[in-house]
Structure formats: C-alpha cells, structure tokens
Amino acid sequence: MVERLTDRMRPFISEEGSVINEGMRRDSVYRYPFDAVREAILNAFVHRDWTRSSEVEVVNYTNRLEIISPGTLQNSMTIEKMLAGQRSARNPIIVEIMRDYGYVDSRGMGVRRKIVPLTRDFAGKDAAFDLTDDYLRVVIPARPAL
C-alpha cells in the first residue's frame, strides 16, 4: 500500500529538472524531501485514530504538501513532546508490524530526526504541525523554484 501511494504521488511531488543527463533526458527533481514525506505518511497511517471513519488525506498545493491524520494525538502527547522525540504509540501492534516489514526503524524519532531537519535543509523552511480535536496536519513546504 505504501509503495502504491508513493508511486501514484511521484508525478505530483516532483517536476522535470533543468539539467539534461547522460541519457539525453531530464531527471525528475522532488519538490519535497522524499524521506520526510514518507515519514509523515507512515506516521499518519500508523498513529491515526482508527475509530474514526475519516481517511488519511494527502493534499498537494503549489507551495506545500499537507498530510492529515484523523484524530488528535494520543494520551497526553502534544506537538512539543512529539518534536522533542517523546514516544507514545497509539497503535503499538501496527507499529510492530510496520517495523517487521521494514517501514519503521527508530520508533518515536521520525518527526525529530527526519521530518523537521530534512524539511529545513531541503526547503529552507520548517515543517508545520497543526493539531485539533479532529486531526493532526503536517505541512511540508515545497522547495523554492530552482
């Protein structure tokens, strides 16, 4: 499922580069840090509130990508705690399954070690996190036009 989503998203999160490669083609250039996008999408599915009938949403705008996960943060988790690397899995069985299949590596550190620094380095802007009673939204800004 993750691979299918990634393959379908690729044309929307990349664009044709300006440099021609040795094969006389233009390589695609990502508008967002791919590993940060992957982490945000995996988090949205793994940590979502499965008691809600809403879908995980991935929306591409001209200047940002938004990943919306149904439900608020679990237990006493806050955005500040999440950014600091505190762990609190809502769905520990799903986390373990995703680890067994190689999708999750260091539990609880993806936001702090991937989304935040990769987005800052890639786009020159910070990722934003918006929390309500209904969802957690991660906003990844696009790289400025080259």
For domain 32-141, give the fold. Heat Shock Protein 90 (3.30.565)
Q: What are the domain boundaries of the chain?
A: 32-141
Q: Which residue has the higher pLDDT, 16 or 135?
A: 135
* Residue 6 backbone phi and psi in degrees, to 5: -60, -45
pLDDT given at position 17: 75
What pTM value is reported for the model?
Answer: 0.88
Q: Which two tokens stand for residue 72?
A: 């608020």
* pLDDT one-digit tens code per residue, 89-128: 888 899 899 989 988 875 678 899 999 999 999 999 999 9
Residue 126: what are its φ and ψ, rounded to 5°? -90, 145
On the CB side of 72, CA atoms within 13 Å amount to 8
